[in-house]
Homo-oligomer: A and B are copies of this chain.
Amino acid sequence: MACELCDQVGGALLWRDELCRVVQVNEPAYPGFCRVIWQAHSKEMGDLSSAQRQHLMRVVFAVEQALSKLMRPDKINLASLGNLTPHVHWHIIPRFHDDAHFPQAIWSAPLRVNTPPPAPSLNDLRITLDELLQTPYD
C-alpha cells in the first residue's frame, strides 16, 4: 500500500535524524503549523518502543517550544490522529484567538475569516530547533 509519509517528505524540512523528521506544512490559515513524522512506517505510538516514543516526544515538545518562542501563540495544539495516513506523525499547531477555528479544533467548521500572522522563517525555525535539540537529554 502506498503511504504518503513514506513516499514524500511532507513539507519544508526543518530537522531530521535517523528516527524522525520535522517539517513545516503549507497551511496558509495556520502559519507555523509543523509536523513531526516518524521515519519508519509504524501505525500507532504503541507500536514503538518506550525509548522510541520518548525520543519522538522530545522532538515534538522541542517544536512546541520553538513555535512558542518564535510566534507567541495563544495556545499550542498537539495531535496524533493518522486516520487517513496511518503512519505515526504529530501535528503541532500554533493557535490564535482570532484564527479561523478558535476555540474549536482546526478540523471543525471554520468560524471566521482572518488574516493570519506571518510564519516564522524556515531559517529561524531551523536555528531554534537545532539549539533546543542539541542540549542533552535531562
Contact = CB atoms under 8 A, between A and B. Distances in A.
Contacts of A70: none
Secondary structure at the A interface, as helix, strand, loop or mixed, is mixed
Contact of A64 (B46, B64, B137): B46
Contacts of A95: 83
A80 B80 CA distance: 9
A1 interface: no
A20 interface: no
A41 B78 CA distance: 18
A33 to B, nearest CB: 14
Closest 6 CB pairs of A and B: A105-B107, A83-B103, A79-B79, A78-B80, A107-B108, A77-B81
22 contacts: A44-B64, A44-B68, A45-B64, A45-B76, A46-B61, A46-B65, A50-B58, A53-B61, A54-B54, A54-B57, A57-B57, A77-B82, A78-B79, A78-B81, A79-B81, A79-B105, A83-B95, A84-B103, A104-B107, A105-B107, A107-B107, A107-B108
